[in-house]
A and B are shown apart, each in its own frame.
Chain A
Amino acid sequence: MKTLSLKNLRKTYFDPYAGSQVTAVHDVSLDVEQGEFVSVVGPSGCGKTTILNMIAGFIPYTGGEILIDGNLVKGPGPDRGVVFQSFALFPWKTVLENVGFGPKMRGVPKDERDRTAREYLALAGLSHAADRYPNELSGGMQQRVGVVRALANNPAVLLMDEPFASVDAQTRMTLQEELTRIWQERKPTVIFITHDVAEAVFLANRVVVLSKGRVLDQIKVDLPRPRVWDHLIEDETFKRLSAQVLQMVRAA
């Protein structure tokens, strides 16, 4: 069953100053299965963010189709959870209220959504931080909240645009390991955008390489799980796949 399906997706921006069109996404077709983890890589400006924003419904598309479980995407909606590079936590809400926000919008009563939120916070090892405000947390903790806030809403697809780009290298590795663990437990469908090739391979079942608004190539990643950096960093298959993807990106 296909959860997410992009068909000949196209996006042109209008530049009012130059009075001309800029085509950011030329023609992208992609099918993502239920429970699949797809990483999208590509050089800067190849249209990754644009594609993700179209799937999220934040910006309209110029041509083609985006289908979620067969339904055409027309705007943002709770079936697509988004994790932002800027974290985008609500500063005036506690961590618990942030995670319970999605259920609250669905009209879930307070007790129940607090219970759900606590359950997801436990999943991210953040039970102790439930009553704190986001500005009292480290960047890594904030993004953990960002991830479980999206998950707690049970989206059909989880969309992530360079979510770990603004945390330090050590924290990033921990977050990546945690994300693979959470993914294994819950099996959400994930589109993960990054320009870190190792990150893309480490996390995904499949890596999609974009170039100038088109899909250049795709690679299956059959590395065993659970994935841990200590093992993979020396793993021959991991090294070979990473080198392969890196070559494609550089050629893109």
Chain B
Amino acid sequence: MNIALKFWSGYVRATHRWPIIATIVPFIPVVAIWSIVANSGMFPRAFFPAPVDVMRSFISLTYKGILPDYLQDSLIRLLFGATIGVALGIPLGILIGSSRLAHRICWPVLLFFQAIGDIAWLPILLIWFGFGLTTMTFVIVYTVLFPIVLSTVLGVQSVHRDLARAAQSLGASPIRVLWEVTLPGALPNIITGLRNGLGYGWRALIAVEIIVGTSGIGFMMFDARRAGSTVEILLGMIVLGTLWYIVDAWILAPIERATGQRWGLVTS
């Protein structure tokens, strides 16, 4: 009992100093169980590979440069699509959020298109644009756009009307009201939207790469299926999870927290 408590307190202090421990430790049992099942002989190894096999494949594919190349391809596609999505989404969100007329006109249309999932566009996109970057970019922009627009609208609407009025009465022009009040006020929501959008975009990208890709992590996984390489499929899945975890937990979430909490806009 005493020892358990001591161990627990040591763990809490260690995770406080090195937060990465808190991320890794919960995966130890997962990997352990996986390893035991794989080594038990219950399934053939080629059908259900062990963690070491995946590790070996990771090292070999990294060494050959295939994995880094594919990863880079995927990330650049995501970044490209996301940039366009942000560039379209934030202004659109501000327009819809601040103009009642624009809201009335755009909102139903927006919800309609949101309901048509990203992947549902693929058949028609393949006919229009073929198997290539245009199709992929379209899907990512499409996926990223909605969470950003919707959160921006929410953010703009959540800015208290008196704040804009105060700024106007202090001599701010409409542009400055936008810059000094509307944008900062909506920022925490915009970042939440960006975070969600990138998450959905990342998933959509993999799906699209599986169908239309000639490179990228999704393509790697689909290609591995053709070759019957379960190891590479699992590797792809683990890379997806790990990468998103890093981006979300280490970059996006802290930014989101920092903006909202500092100003007391988010209570947590």
Contact = CB atoms under 8 A, between A and B. Distances in A.
A192 interface: no
Contacts of A135: 263-264
6 contacts: A58-B168, A81-B170, A90-B180, A92-B184, A135-B264, A149-B170
Interface in B155-193: 160, 162-163, 165-173, 176, 180-181, 184-185, 187
B169 A90 contact: no
A59 B162 CA distance: 13
Contacts of B168: 57-58, 75-77
Contacts of B170: 78, 81, 101-102, 105, 149-150, 153
Contacts, number: 74
A57 B166 CA distance: 11
A90 B262 CA distance: 12
A153 B169 CA distance: 10
A88 B162 contact: yes
The size bracket of the interface on A is: 20 to 34
Nearest to A106: B171
A58 B164 CA distance: 10
B169 A101 contact: no
Interface of A: 56-58, 75-78, 80-82, 84, 86, 88-92, 101-102, 105-106, 133-136, 149-150, 153
Max chain A C-beta neighbours (<10 A), residue from B162, B170, B173: B170
Contacts of A78: 169-171
A58 B165 contact: yes
Contacts of A84: 162, 165-166
B264 A91 contact: yes
Interface of B: 160, 162-163, 165-173, 176, 180-181, 184-185, 187, 262-265
Contacts of B163: 88, 90
B169 A80 contact: yes
Max chain B C-beta neighbours (<10 A), residue from A81, A88, A102, A136: A88
Given A91-B263, A91-B265, A133-B263, A82 B166 contact: yes
Contact of A90 (B173, B181, B187): B181
Contacts of A75: 168
A90 B171 CA distance: 15
A56 B165 contact: yes
A86 B160 contact: yes
Given A102-B170, A135-B263, A149-B170, 8 more contacts: A82-B166, A84-B162, A88-B163, A91-B265, A101-B167, A101-B170, A150-B170, A153-B171
10 A-B pairs closest in CB distance: A135-B264, A78-B171, A76-B168, A105-B171, A88-B162, A102-B170, A91-B263, A88-B166, A82-B169, A92-B184
Contacts of B173: 105
A88 B160 contact: yes
A105 B265 contact: no
A90 B181 CA distance: 7
Contacts of A82: 165-166, 169
Contacts of B265: 91
A58 B163 CA distance: 12
Nearest to A153: B170
A150 B162 CA distance: 14
B181 to A, nearest CB: 7
A85 to B, nearest CB: 8
Max chain B C-beta neighbours (<10 A), residue from A57, A77, A84, A134: A84
